[in-house]
Amino acid sequence: MGSLFSDSITLRKSIGISDDEFVQLRDFIYDKTGIFVDGKRKYLFESRLTKRLTALGLPSFSDYIKFLKFDPRRAAELNKLYELVTTNETSLFRDLKQLEAFQNNVLKEKLEEQRAAGRRELNIWSAGCSSGEEPYTLSILLHETLRMELARWRITITAVDLSPAMIARAKEGVYGDYAFKTTPDAMKSRYFTKEGDGWKIKPAVARLVNFQEMNLNDPLALKRVPRSHIVFCRNVIIYFDQEMKRRVVSAFYDNLLPGGYMMLGHSETLHKISSSFKPVFHPGTIAYRKEG
């Protein structure tokens, strides 16, 4: 059959970005966030950001770069930009095997250690928490592990993300079916209540989590996080280049208390990034221990 589409339909819908503009914008984003946009993604980048140019009525990427640097409204625009350069794909109970290994080994060990020392407190840092799925999952695991004993513990899960929009959604704590695709039904009914089309996290679980906006590229901000027994940073450093990966991992190392653990995403590794940690192997995951 003949084509139903006019030959004049163009593939290009976006405003073109020159190589020079691309490099400027890429460097700008890197300076601000540590997120590195590979040159291979130039066209993807161009089409995603075209929406912002159109919304602001800017004719070219040079104008957009000027806007980001000098316009009085730049702070709000930066947040929009952050949302477009990171994907926030995650779910509750993501990577069950890792979580199970974490609960039965790392968490158990830390809790016993603290009990033995008579300090019933635990600090966990969830870095790059997106819309809250990970810190809430950790809070649920703590509820499951400690049960009635939980009341006698002081537990803080500091959950940070670059994007204010994500933090706002995390605080709201309402999730649709997609977020539950790997959540055991019992967990869902025990820790969530139906709300509209979705499910809302129960206040007791939310209470342990302290959300804040944070740029992992801001060394001063990182220093304000209370020292942790455990750091979770899953599927975040994937967006960074080697240099930024090293910086962030070393900040986690400094933040961890001696004997603390760092957990990375299933497919992430410290290979070529840091040799300070001691990898501890469990079926389903590697926990990185700070010796001492």
Partner 1 sequence: MVLATDLKGPDGRLLFKSGTPLSSRHATLLARVGVEEVDVREDTALTAEQLREIEDYVRDFFLYANPDFEPTIAMFHIALDQVAEAVAEGWVLPDLSRRRAVSVEHLEDIFLTGMGTPETIVKHESELASFPDIYFRIREVLADERASADAIARVVGTDVSLAAKLLKLVNSPFYGFPQEIDSVSRAVALVGHRELSTLALGISAINYFRDIPPELVDMRGFWRHSITCGVIAKILAETQTGLSSERFFTAGLLHDVGRLILFKKLPYASTEAMLFARENAIPLVEAEREIMGFCHTDISKPLLASWKFPETLSNMVNHHHDPMTFPNPLGPSVIHVADTLTNVVELAQGGMYAVPPLDEAAWEQLGLDPSILRGVAESCRKQIEAIMEAFF
- Residues in touch with partner 1 (CB under 8 A): 1-5, 7, 9-14, 16, 40-41, 43-44, 47-48, 87, 89, 93, 95-97, 178, 181-182, 238, 266-271, 281, 284-286
Q: 88 vs 210, which CB is nearer to partner 1?
A: 88
Listing DSSP states for 71-120 in one string gives -TTHHHHHHHHHHHHS-----TT-SHHHHHHIIIIIIHHHHHHHHHTT--
Q: 70 vs 178, which CB is nearer to partner 1?
A: 178
Amino acid at 252: F
CA distances from 33 to 82, 92, 181, 218, 264 (A): 8, 25, 30, 8, 19
Would you call 257 helix, strand, or coil by DSSP? Answer: strand
Nearest to 78 by CA among 172, 201, 184, 218: 218
CB of 48 to partner 1, least distance (A): 8
Q: 5 vs 70, which CB is nearer to partner 1?
A: 5
Q: 97 vs 224, which CB is nearer to partner 1?
A: 97
Q: 226 vs 283, which CB is nearer to partner 1?
A: 283
CB of 97 to partner 1, least distance (A): 7
CB of 150 to partner 1, least distance (A): 26
CB of 149 to partner 1, least distance (A): 28
CB of 101 to partner 1, least distance (A): 11
Rounded distance between C-alpha atoms, residue 25 and residue 65, angstroms: 6
Cβ contact 169:213 at 8 Å: no
DSSP 204: H
